[in-house]
Structure 1
Amino acid sequence: MENFPHTYYVYGISLHSGIPLSLPVRGYGGLAEIELRIAPASFFSDALAGVSLEQASGSWYQIGRLADGSSYMRWEHVGEFLISGDGRRMSCRQFDRATCESFEVYMLGQALSYALVGQAFEPIHATVVVVNGEAVVFLGDSGFGKSTLAASFISAGYQLLTDDLLILRETHGRLFAYPGPPRIKLFPRTARRFLGTAADGIPMNRDTQKLILPLDRRRSCSLPVSVKAIFALASPREVFRRQPVRLKPLSPREAFLELVKNTFNYRITDGARLQRQFTEASSVSFRQREKRFSLS
């Protein structure tokens, strides 16, 4: 393997990087290894020769699939990435107008999810806090309030484990959640309410007011934590103002559907991936009782 100047630990993997990142240099990385390289614009233009790019409705990034199984993605004003089919190598280029923080959010989220799926992981769209040494998982689509709910826990003295992307793994009969980057994404008003300040936040991109806020060791956890509970957040359409908090147990079938619905990467749909997704969601839903969580 090439000698990289930096090694970081995130989502239970060892990330060998050619560029410095805002990630822990100590931690657990035994699940897999990924190599991250910077590449010039010519590298990407050559790789994309003859490749058609598509943009899904409701998203603002472009994606292309290469003949060798690699995946390309590009966010305007942020950067572009090429992920090998086996998920072991990532090439990246940060655009001039992008901040390092914004570039990392997209690289360590959507882009990295292709590498994770390529290495047979199933990333879940979830935010996780640590309560009394155990992980509490919140499933939900963007806008459902996962990060806001996590911020309320942080303000009460608990730690964040991951915000947006979750990797689960069973070890010795216990389900473990693995830590993501030590940061949370919040709107300024929410940041001021729960974290006391929004001054340290960096805008995610030019089209949103949402901020990227780094968290220190007191507010974030960098080790795998066993899962205590999983909550599927109700859609905002199902919730009314002044409605009390409600918890409803989910059947294994309902829990399975929530896990599948909250996959982090819905673009890779080959048969092997879908079968693995079905198997893992079934396993988690039958061993871990989930509840639907409603709050106004």
Structure 2
Amino acid sequence: MLGPGECVLSFAGLARFLIAMAQRSITVFDVQPAATPADIEHLLYDHVAPRIVAEQGPLVLHGSGVEIDGALAVFLGETGAGKSTLAASLHRAGHRLHGDDAVVLHEGPHGYTGSAVYPSLRLYPETIAEVFGDAAASSPMAHYSEKQRVDLRSIAAQPAPSAPIAGLFFLAGGYEDDPLAAELMRPSEACMAIVEQSFALDPSDKAKAARRLGQSSMLANAIPVYRLTYPHDFACMNDLHAMILACLGSNGTRPIMGRKAMND
């Protein structure tokens, strides 16, 4: 029997987590034999922690945050859309990585700011080799995934403070013949996309769902939101970076359209 403010998050075949908000405690139980310490760490930091932060009030988005010229660009999309790869490539190009999985948003008197729930970067081995070469050490993220947790001591040792949010980018496409393009989304469309990519401890809580919808609507009307399409080809990364910087400089006044993919 769960008490007031308690809930259980279950991850089939791995473990369950008892969250007690009033006691500010997390208890892991029913840990299965197949679960490794890396699995538990991944579940705790990448799945449980963002939901706990969201339960406390702020809007928490499932996305990567990169600071560009003092402002934060947030990249969102379904699993496999390329959020982490894009964030890693921007970090490698000299921009400050906040984290690649969860971004906490706050509205203040001067607009929106954002920061990562915790500094992280998880990539497939071939992406690590392409972006970092031999410069980055890595370790398994979880036994059921090929992704590796990249050891970037510079971001772990000095977590980035909150930064003003300059734009949101929803990643789409990923095929070789996709155009390199960014299209400004309508606020109503952007609002629903933001809701879909937000964390919630209890999605069935109608009051908190209404709160997330209101937060998402306000964000979509205050910050430029783009749909970003590009071929998943490292050869076009420099052009993709240039397009993102152009969008951030445009202040959301118009869509920025890029030229066709590099192999056209």
Q: Which runs of 4+ in 1 moved over 6 A?
A: 94-97
- Taking only aligned residues, the RMSD between alpha carbons, in angstroms, comes to 2.6
SS at match of 2:117: coil
Report the equivalent of 1:289.
224
Q: TM-score, normalised by structure 2?
A: 0.77
Whether 2:178 is the aligned partner of 1:243: answer: yes
Q: CA deviation at 1:189?
A: 0.2
- CA shift in 2, pair 1:144/1:157, >3 Å: same
Higher share of residues assigned helix: 2
Cα distance in 2, alignment partners of residues 197 and 100 from structure 1: 26
Cα distance in 2, alignment partners of residues 87 and 272 from structure 1: 22
Whether 2:11 is the aligned partner of 1:68: answer: no
Whether 2:22 is the aligned partner of 1:89: answer: no
Q: CA deviation at 1:162?
A: 1.7
SS at match of 1:213: strand
CA deviations 1:138-174 (Å, max 9, x no partner) are: 1111111100111111121212112111110012222
| Structure 1, unpaired ranges of 5+ | 1-49, 51-65
SS at match of 2:79: coil
Counterparts of 1:9-24 in structure 2, within 5 Å, are none
Opposite residue 229 of structure 1, the aligned amino acid is G
CA deviations 1:88-120 (Å, max 9, x no partner) are: 332336777755544322112211233223312
Report the equivalent of 1:110.
47
Tell me, yes or no, if the aligned pair for 1:110 and 1:265 is still in contact at 8 Å. no
Whether 2:72 is the aligned partner of 1:144: answer: no
Q: TM-score, normalised by structure 1?
A: 0.69
| Percent identity for Structure 1 against Structure 2 | 25
SS at match of 2:116: coil
Report the equivalent of 1:196.
133
Asked which structure has the greater RCO (Cα within 8 Å, sep 6+), the reply is 2
Report the equivalent of 2:95.
158
Tell me, yes or no, if the aligned pair for 2:59 and 2:106 is still in contact at 8 Å. no
Q: CA deviation at 1:279?
A: 1.0
Tell me, yes or no, if the aligned pair for 1:87 and 1:117 is still in contact at 8 Å. no
| Structure 2, unpaired ranges of 5+ | 232-264
Report the number of matched residues: 229
